[in-house]
């Protein structure tokens, strides 16, 4: 039995909780909307009314086996920024510089989205190695590895992989988040943080 943290109680969070409980895991689900938590009842399930990022910052994240982000934000980046601020390390968000990524799309505050897919992916995609589940298109390098090989003058690039736990359900490894934090503190260089599975990614940037 794993100890799972689900951040967000919307449609994606609800599906994540159902899948994880069915597989015999212990689950904590966090959302700031108490009404969204009403449906979450059962053994091995704890519902917490709190902001997802604030809750994550307040925890020893290594106490969880996996963190499942189901919030409409870049969870790894927001967690990193809030932890740095809590340590009184001054940093600010900045636009991600131009990078060569597939199907780039700009988001709020200069975020950059990338995706191998130009179609809507099914919610239960098993993320097969080497090819798109929908189209069969061959892909020799997963997106998280492609991003890790990029360079951007004046920036470090760190990639947090979204590991597929079940079809359509990705999780962040708390140990990898800790490593990201330690690297950021020791270097304090302008930084691009990417969270990526094999096909999709979101990137944000920080300066110090």
Rounded to an integer, the average pLDDT of 165-194 is: 96
CA distance 57 to 162: 19
How many CB atoms are closer than 10 A to CB 202?
22
Contact of 49 with 28, CB cutoff 8 Å: no
Contact of 5 with 67, CB cutoff 8 Å: yes
User: What integer best gives the mean pLDDT of the chain?
Assistant: 95
How many distinct helices (H) and strands (E) make up the chain?
Answer: 5, 12
pTM of the shown model: 0.95
CATH code of the domain occupying 1-72: 3.40.50.720
Condensed to tens digits (0 to 9), the pLDDT of residues 48-90 reads 999 999 999 999 999 999 999 999 999 999 999 999 999 999 9
Instruction: Write phi, then psi, for 11 (nearest 5 degrees).
Output: -60, -45
**Domain spans in the chain, listed from the N-terminal domain onward:** 1-72, 75-208
Condensed to tens digits (0 to 9), the pLDDT of residues 81-99 reads 999 999 999 999 999 999 9
Tokens (6 digits) for 53: 């990022």
């Amino acid at each position: 039995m794993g100890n799972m943290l689900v951040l967000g109680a919307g449609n994606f969070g609800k599906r994540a909780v159902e899948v994880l409980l069915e597989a015999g895991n212990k689950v904590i689900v966090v959302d700031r909307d108490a009404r969204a938590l009403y449906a979450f009842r059962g053994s091995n399930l704890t519902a917490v009314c709190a902001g997802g990022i604030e809750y994550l910052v307040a925890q020893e994240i290594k106490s969880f086996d996996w963190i499942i982000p189901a919030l409409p934000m870049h969870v790894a980046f927001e967690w990193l920024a809030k932890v740095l601020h809590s340590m009184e390390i001054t940093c600010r968000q900045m636009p991600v510089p131009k990078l060569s990524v597939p199907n780039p799309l700009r988001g709020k505050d200069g975020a950059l989205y990338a995706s191998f897919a130009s179609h809507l992916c099914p919610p239960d995609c098993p993320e097969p190695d080497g090819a798109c589940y929908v189209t069969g298109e061959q892909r020799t390098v997963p997106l998280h590895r492609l991003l890790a090989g990029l360079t951007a003058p004046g920036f470090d690039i760190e990639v947090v992989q979204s590991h597929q736990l079940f079809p359509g359900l990705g999780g962040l490894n708390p140990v990898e988040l800790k490593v990201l934090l330690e690297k950021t503190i020791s270097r304090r260089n302008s930084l691009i943080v990417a969270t990526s599975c094999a096909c999709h990614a979101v990137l944000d940037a920080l300066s110090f």
